[in-house]
Amino acid sequence: MADEPAAAPAAEDEVRRLFFAVLLPRPLQAAAEVVQRALKRANADLKWVEPENLHFTLKFLGDTPVSAIPRLSEVGRQLAARTPRARVMLRGLGGFPHNQWPQVVWVGCENGGLALAKLGHSLDTALNEADLAPLDKRPFEPHLTLGRARSNRGLKGLVLSLAQYGTVDIGPLILSNFALMSSQLGPQGPTYTVIEEFPLCPPADKAGPAAPPG
C-alpha cells in the first residue's frame, strides 16, 4: 500500500497579531498630524505614528490563532449592539510615564472620554468571560499615541513643547464603531488591516419609540 501524502498544516496553526481599536476619520488624522509637526520642531528622537495609523487601542491581543477570529468577532458584535454611540472630544497633550519624562506622547480625551473608557473596560471583561484573553492588569486609560521615544535626545525640548501645546484641541470624535484589526510588522513600521468593524447602537434618546405592548 502506497504511503499517503503528508497532510498540510492546519489553518488553525496560523497566528496573526490582533487588537481591537477605535479608528480616526481623515479630518482628525489631519488635525493630529498638524500637532505632530509642531512637536517635531523640538527635534526629539521619537518614532512618530503615521497619521493613517493613528487609533485608540481598546485591547491588544498579540499573536492569536486565526481560528479564534470568529469568536472574537462575535464578542465584538454583541458588545457593539448594546453600546450607544457617543461624542468624544480629543483635547490636551501628555506623556507617559509623566510629562517631565515623556517616553510616549499622547492626546487625551475630555468630554465623552468616559464613554470610550467604558467601552474599553467592557471589551476587556467580555473577552475574559469568553476565555479569549486575560483581564488587563491596569485599568484602561483612553489615549491617542502620537509618538514613542527612541532615545533621550531632545527630551528637554519636547517637555517644553508639551507645556506649550498642552491644551490643544484636536477635535470631536464621533464614537460610532470599533474594529478588530491585524498588524503586520515591517521595516517601515506596522501595516494595519481591518478584519471587521462593529457599529454601535443609537443613543437611548434617539433609538425611536418603544413598540406598543401586545
Q: Does 38 reside within a domain?
A: yes
Q: Does 209 reside within a domain?
A: no
Q: What's the pLDDT tens digit per position in 144-153?
A: 999 999 999 9
Q: What's the pLDDT tens digit per position in 47-83?
A: 999 999 999 999 999 999 999 999 999 999 999 999 9
Active-site annotation, residues: 55, 143
According to the model, what pLDDT value does residue 11 have?
Answer: 52
Q: Does 193 reside within a domain?
A: yes
Q: Does 214 reside within a domain?
A: no
Q: Does 103 reside within a domain?
A: yes
Please check the confidence at residue 4 and state whether its pLDDT lies above 50: no
Mean pLDDT rounded to a whole number for the chain: 90
The answer to whether the predicted template modeling score (pTM) of the entire model surpasses 0.95 is no
Residues 6 or more apart whose CB falls under 8 angstroms from that of 125 comprise: 135
Please check the confidence at residue 191 and state whether its pLDDT lies above 90: yes
Here the CATH number for the domain that contains residue 40 is: 3.90.1140.10
Domain that residue 24 falls in: 19-201
What is the domain count for the chain?
1
What φ, ψ does residue 211 adopt, rounded to 5°? -70, 140
Q: Does 110 reside within a domain?
A: yes
Q: Does 213 reside within a domain?
A: no
pLDDT band with cut points at 50, 70 and 90 for residue 214: very low
Share of the chain above pLDDT 70, in %: 89
Residue labelled with grid coordinates 517601515: 188
Peptide bond preceding 97 in cis form (omega within 30 of 0)? yes
Q: Does 5 reside within a domain?
A: no
According to the model, what pLDDT value does residue 205 have?
Answer: 61
CA atoms within 13 A on the CB side of 54: 27
